[in-house]
Structure 1
Amino acid sequence: MTPTLTNIPLFPLSGHVLPGGIMQLKIFEPRYLRMIREVCSKGEQGLIGMCMFNEQGSIEHNTHIHALATLAKVIDFEHRDDGLLGITVEGVEIGEITSIDVANDGLRSGTIERHNNWPQHSLDDDYQHLATRLCEVYKEYPELGSCPSGECLSHADWVCQRWLELLPISAQVKQELLREQSCLPALEYLKSLIRESETISDPE
């Protein structure tokens, strides 16, 4: 597997998708329509760098994009009734952007170094509540998709990534957690965060 990928189109978003996650998007800007055409023309080799906004960064200097991005593939698309192009992407792996180029139409592309995903880790009993609550969220918001399978919910890394996609946590914190060697720091962080939110909503 090539450790460095070049000329990967970058798609900065306020919403986030991580490995194993699914995201639906509406595409209307000409530069991103071009991006989708070019990515789809590459078949299985076509990847998009789904990036997180850095609110403290500069668009002029390309520092408005955080370094860690999710390499994603387009798994479905449709021409919507409103005239927009709808696409569905699936997160594949984490990569680190090392350089960025800007085309005349404003589409950014980057050189990306593959970054090891968290290793698979079983969800211990101490964190089972995270899986239970995640399933409840999927049932409450069916637009997220069907309730995750028991196999997915048994993997701590998968559960953590879905929570990081869903929760309004700052992109900087997400970047720091994704740089960790395993999902364990994220597990502790999420366990504390969700427990705190439940305490606030149900103070008794």
Structure 2
Amino acid sequence: MNLPLLPLNTVLFPDCALDLQIFEARYLDMISRCMKQGEGFGVVCIVEGEEVGEPAERFAAIGCEARICDFQQRPNGLLGIRVEGARRFKVQRAQVLPDRLTVAEVDWLEEPDEQPLSAEHEDLAALRRALTMHPMVAALGMDEELGGQSALANQLSYLLPLTPEQKVQLLALESPQQRLAVLQHLLEQLQGDLNS
């Protein structure tokens, strides 16, 4: 499957919303094609390079499909879009087209069936509820009831102030249980650092 890529300094997770401002010709064309064909594009985290100008030199091999759910012209005249994370993918091969758009051959990653939350997840669920009260998070409309372990793992991985490297590692993990265990560990480390 060939997927156009938008390399960013951020990591998108399934079921998470991201607002983007589009102004480069290659990406305006890409968004126009995606909307006409009802398809998504891939968001990958930049490892080396910039978001604007020359194509990113290196980006993470694991990314997330972005589906356009809303768009409007911003007061500054630029195109604003809201995307929602869909399927995770692994980049097999990528090439830069003459218009400087990067297109990749990707494999979709398996998503396990959603598992219900249990008592052991209560602290993490409470943290996620607290995060969704932040005005910037509330503006993304990510405050609906949680579906289960995948939703909790994805939203916490997305919303917590972790490094891009940590977020890419979390996105690459196969199961939500693994993701939640790593998040718990990272939060305990953070707590330890704050208390020391």
TM-score normalised by length of structure 2: 0.86
Task: Show the counterpart of 1:95.
Answer: 89
- CA spacing shift, 1:62–1:23, aligned 2, 3 Å: closer
Counterpart-to-counterpart distance in 2, 1:138 and 1:55: 31
- Does residue 1:182 correspond to 2:175, yes or no? yes
Which residue in 2 is equivalent to 1:166?
Answer: 159
Which residue number in structure 1 is paired with residue 32 of structure 2?
37
Structure 2 unpaired stretches of 5+: none
1:73–1:147 Cα change, 3 Å: closer
- Listed one character per residue, the Cα deviations across residues 176-196 of structure 1 (whole Å, up to 9, x for unaligned) are 333333112221121122234
Q: Deviations over 1:70-113 (max 9, x none)?
A: 11211110011101100010111111111112122211011111
How many Å separate the matches in 2 of 1:191 and 1:199? 12
Deviation at 1:160, TM superposition (A): 1.0
- What is the Cα-based RMSD across aligned positions, in Å? 2.4
Match of 1:149 in 2: 144
**2:65 is aligned with 1:71:** yes
**Matched residue SS, 1:54:** strand
Cα distance in structure 2, aligned partners of 1:155 and 1:14:
28
Q: Which runs of 5+ in 1 are unaligned?
A: none
The answer as to whether partners of 1:119 and 1:182 remain within 8 angstroms in 2 is no
CA distance in 1, matches of 2:112, 2:149: 10
Aligned partners of 1:15 and 1:165 also within 8 Å? no
Whether contact under 8 Å (1:70, 1:93) holds in the other structure is yes
Cα distance, 1:63–1:80 mapped onto 2, change above 3 Å: closer
Find out whether 1:26 has 2:21 as its counterpart.
yes
* Count of matched residue positions in the alignment of Structure 1 and Structure 2: 190
Q: Is the 1:120–1:155 contact (alpha carbons within 8 Å) kept by the matching residues of 2?
A: yes
Shift of 1:199: 5.0
Q: Is the 8 A contact 1:67 1:96 kept in 2?
A: yes
Alpha-carbon separation, structure 2, partners of 1:62 and 1:174: 19
Shift of 1:165: 1.1
Structure 1 residues 200 and 89, CA gap change in structure 2 (3 angstroms): same
Deviation at 1:61, TM superposition (A): 10
